[in-house]
Amino acid sequence: MRHVASLGLAGTAFPAALWAVAQEQGRITKATIQCAEGIAGLEFSDAERELMLEGVNANLEAFERLRSVSIPNAVPPALQFEPVLPGSQPQLVRRRSRRSRPTTVRPLNLEDLAFRSIPELAELLRTRQVTSEELTRMYLDRLRRHGAALEAFITITEDLAISQARRADAEIAAGHYRGPLHGIPWGAKDLLAEDQYRTTWGAKTYEDQVIPYDATVVQRLEEAGAVLIAKLTLGALAWGDVWFGGRTRNPWNTEQGSSGSSAGSASATVAGLVGFSIGSETLGSIVSPATRCGATGLRPTFGRVSRHGAMALSWSMDKLGPICRSVEDCALVFEAIHGADGEDPTARTLPFAWDSALGVGELRLGYYRSAFESEQATDFDRAGLAALRELGVPLIPIEMPDQFPVDAIRFILNVEAAAAFDELTRSNRDDLLVRQIERAWPNVFRQSRLIPAVEYVQANRMRTMLMGAVEAAMDGVDVFITPSYGGNVLLTTNLTGHPAVTVPNGFQEDGTPVSISFIGRLFGEAELLAAARAFQDATGFHLERPPAFLPAETPPA
């Protein structure tokens, strides 16, 4: 047991002899309080410390009683984050659902389908030119062939996949077509529970963990007829691209990691190993690997998608979303998974319909002006803004609020993560995690034990003010375009719960992709996706394929 952490004194210059006395007596003294004051940036008088003693020792006893109760990772705190401020409600337009229906024929080489969009695959399956079992076996073969190069999957779910594919084929043949995901193989970030297979969270500590139920997202995709073929890698406990079996790679340059934490989801999708995937984001875990790998990623509004059955990292910031090859693919997956389920208390059901005919002329588009004008903006960023301008729609300059020290409250995430993995820290099993460096969870969990509860509450109060300021900044627009890491937009919008779509925006001299992002209003995914789709159709960067993973040539007849 790490009693140093429980007393709030780890990392201080606490005299060894004094600490030994405190341990032996099992009580906190005025001297220990004085040492702890420095951690919180406070200073009390000796008389004040004397008055504090009885209560502080009572707290310590309460901590020990609290720790005698096992609290599973899936249990949320009684306090909930709500992205919609009191007195306001999302102003949503109810739209008609319309998706693309491309005309497509079966290729001579089935592997040519590895990079096709969901609408193309859906039409081939609906018209029975291709069976789900054929498609599933093709993707399973690619997973095995390219697994060593990318280290992008943890478990191949072949028995389940073949069973689901055969069921899809039988249903489609019988005229029971469930929709555009019916029969399409997909991969789950391995923080989503599936009761027939292990769910490792990417961490050695949980390598053999089996959760005896399916995550809501897994259930909903099964109901849509999709075929789960793999549990994909994530950085251990959703940070980075290093997991217990290696480091997931960027398909455009396998000397690079794929970034994280939705490492395998982005890598496998871009390499054509799955039809689509599900990732998660707390602070950049969809945006970052989508950027590195050239994927299209949707981070929905906080509360749009149930997190039941997903590993909890930060109850007030975690979000699940699709990582795909195109914006329309993301829209079709999101349409299947959004809404409340009665399990995740933060999940809400609000209208969403993908309208592929919605044009940017019907939207109010903005751009984050100072981010595009800053020294950090790249030629790619400016070219992306120019491409949006060329669509002929006026762009409205906006600014993200700068009156708050946003970086100063990012520890909200760290505090919640430390609570989610409290037992891991206290048991010393965090030593089993592969990454044992300053910027990795074991160290951050320990540091976060020393953040005062009062500062956590104060940070969340400032967060409420930030939410109001962002809503005011976006008052005149439906969507705005921004460099993906412009200013504090990534941290700010993850704290406020706003949705984002990240899309490819060109390629650097070394052949690796870059991205640009679109930010929407709360629960405004329909408009957000429409704007990103218009940009994507105009630029076509999402159609590029990593050369090392192209299908083998069609054998001669």
**Catalytic annotation, pick one of 189, 280, 316, 515:** 189
What gap in Å lies between CA 224 and CA 339, rounded to an integer?
14
pLDDT exceeds cutoff 60 at 212: yes
Residue 204 annotated as catalytic: no
Residue 13 has pLDDT above 80, yes or no: no
Alpha carbons 488 and 536: distance in angstroms, whole number: 24
- 102 is written with which tokens? 């491309």
Tell me the three-class secondary structure of 278-294, residue by residue.
EEEECCCCCHHHHHHHC
pLDDT confidence tier of residue 96, bands split at 50, 70 and 90: confident
Q: What average pLDDT is seen over the chain?
A: 93
What is the rounded average pLDDT of the residues 431-444? 94
Active site (annotated) includes residue 68: no
Phi, psi of 481 (to 5 degrees): -95, 145
220 backbone dihedrals φ, ψ, rounded to 5°? -70, -35
The contacts of residue 355 (CB under 8 Å, 6+ apart) are: 95, 96, 97, 98, 526, 530
* C-beta separation of 463 from 491 below 8 A: no
Catalytic residue among 100, 258, 261, 515: 261
Catalytic site residue from 285, 306, 314, 484: 285
What pLDDT is recorded for position 311?
98
- In the residue annotation, 285 being an active-site residue is answered as yes
219 secondary structure, DSSP code: H
What burial letters (b/e) apply to 493-502, b meaning 16+ CB within 10 Å? bbbbbbbbbb
Q: Give the pair of three-digit tokens for residue 189.
A: 């970030």
pLDDT confidence of residue 464: 96
> What is the rounded distance in angstroms from the CA atom of residue 57 to the CA atom of residue 24?
14
Burial label for 239, CB within 10 Å (0-12, 13-18, 19+), is buried
Give tens-digit pLDDT for 343-369.
999 999 999 999 999 999 999 999 999
Taken in order 378, 379, 382, 383, the sign of the CA dihedral is negative
Q: In 3D, which of 360, 350, 372 has the Cα closest to residue 538?
A: 360
* In the predicted structure, residue 211 carries a pLDDT above the cut 90: yes
Question: Which band of pLDDT confidence, cut at 50, 70 and 90, is reported for residue 65?
Answer: confident
